[in-house]
Amino acid sequence: NCAPANDAINVLYQAVPELANHFSITCKIGEGAFSCVYLAQLKHYPEVKEMFALKHIIPTTHPSRIQNELNCLLKIGGCDNVIDIKLCLRHRDHVVFVMPIFLHDKFQDYLYSFGVDEAREYMKNLLIALRRVHQFNIIHRDIKPSNFLYNRQQKRYALVDFGLASGPMLIDRDADKLRKTLPTAGAPPSDSTIRVALSPSKFDPSCSRANVYKCKKPSTAVKNQLMKKKDHPSFDSSHICDCFGKAQVCSVCVARPNQVAARAGTAGFRSPEVLMKYTEQGTAVDIWSAGVIFLSILSARYPFFRAEDDIGYLAQIISVLGSEPCVQAASSIGKHLLLSEPVEAVDLKAMCTKLRMSQMSVKLGTSSQFQQIVKSWKAMSDEPYDLLSKMLDPNPHTRITAEDALNHPYFTNS
């Protein structure tokens, strides 16, 4: 996966001149929204065969973010599947982290051919990394396959990318922002009531697109239904103002502050509490994201959720988990979830098995090796699905922790 990038490498040598004294950079091995990562070797020690990953952080990144990431890696890196850091070089506004190289496979390349034992090992190692991170009360905030590196041949794992992490010993810029903008008294924020239009479409295993659930834009009829205040189970008159159900926004609502809550992370992996702008987010947000990875593995669909905006993602989550637990979870974090219609939860095991079977036959063909994998997925017990539902608990207060998940029979009975 080594991409030649001579121009970029020369720019990097110029940006941080000290690099050229120590490293010869070979190629680009990865990139994300906030960095480019290069493969390098030590220059003056030919006996050192070890290779390094140089993460060049885009210079527009706020210094406190960079310091956060560095703090995290220094404090928790180097054990329990969390990547280590060896060195950090800075020249003016350019910062480079030097980490051990971790050669890895691409999620989309192994997703379809995952064996059942391999899937369990993968999830176990992800949870081991999360247990380590959460021991420090740090939220990673960007758990997704491209940040959890897996070397399939060596059965090794590495959690990377603490660029969005937040926690007690870190400079939490989101928290700062919140302190400045959160209302102290008065009317509830304008978005403590969340309206979601659900499309009644069921999952479609033959769907060629990666997303299985589609959320239609609410029709006028659905919008009207959402605005109807009576007959709704989660209707609470204390939060209704003059304009509720009307086409115009009243002065009371215009004056209401917007809720501001951390929403760093990647679309499709954000937990319900992040999507609903809950301000007291904790480490449970990472467990949710790990649960979404688990859902992708069990169903061989990646990405599993795909929508246009936060409410669209919420709608897809509700169509999988059912309205009842989501309305209750919302209420436990002080939100009112108004739905266009009630929906039943889907049977996770039936859905995932169906999706995985259809996907595997398309991607893997009919070889005997494939038949073996299909057989093992068909014979899958209920345990992974029990754990999955506990990781995808919409209520962050009852969602399973990494520690408890590692003691789940899915892992302990194997």
Residues of this chain that interact with Mg ion (CB under 5 A) are 32, 147, 161
State yes or no: residue 105 binds ligand ADP (CB under 6 A). no
- The residue number with the shortest CB distance to Mg ion is 32
Binder of ligand ADP out of 23, 38, 102, 294 (CB under 6 A) = 102
Active site residue 80: no
- Nearest 5°: the CA angle 25, 30, 33 is 125
For residue 146, the minimal CB distance to ligand ADP (Å) is 4
Q: Hey, CA dihedral for 280, 286, 288, 289, is it positive or negative?
A: positive
Which position among 29, 337, 343, 387 is part of the footprint of ligand ADP (CB under 6 A)? 29
Nearer to Mg ion, 163 or 325 (CB): 163
Closer CB to Mg ion, residue 203 or residue 269? 269
| Pairing between β-strand 336-339 and β-strand 193-196 as defined by DSSP bridges | parallel
CB under 5 to 8 A by kind: which of Mg ion, ligand ADP, none does 178 bind?
Answer: none
Please state whether beta strands 51-57 and 94-100 pair in parallel, antiparallel, or not at all (unpaired).
Answer: antiparallel
Structure tokens at 240: 């209704």
Give the phi and the psi of residue 403 in degrees, each rounded to 5: -60, -50
Tell me: does residue 83 bind ligand ADP (CB under 6 A).
Answer: yes
Binding test (CB under 6 A) with ligand ADP, winner from 5, 12, 16, 55: 55
- 286 is an interface residue for ligand ADP by CB under 6 A: no
Return contacts of 176-185, CB within 8 angstroms, 24+ apart.
177/260, 178/260, 178/261, 178/262, 178/279, 181/257, 181/260, 182/257, 182/260, 182/279, 183/257
Q: Flag whether 55 is marked binding.
A: yes
Tokens representing 345 are 């939860």
Which range of residues in 26-34, 109-117, 346-354, 391-399 is near ligand ADP by CB under 6 A? 26-34
Query: 105, 142, 236, 347: which is the annotated catalytic residue?
Result: 142
Dihedral class, residue 161 (left if φ above 0, else alpha if ψ from -120 to 50, else beta): left
Which residue carries 């034992």 as its tokens?
Answer: 117
Q: Which residues bind ligand ADP (CB under 6 A)?
A: 29-35, 37, 53, 55, 83, 99, 101-102, 146-147, 160-161, 163
Binding residues for ATP: 55
Which residues belong to the active site?
Answer: 142
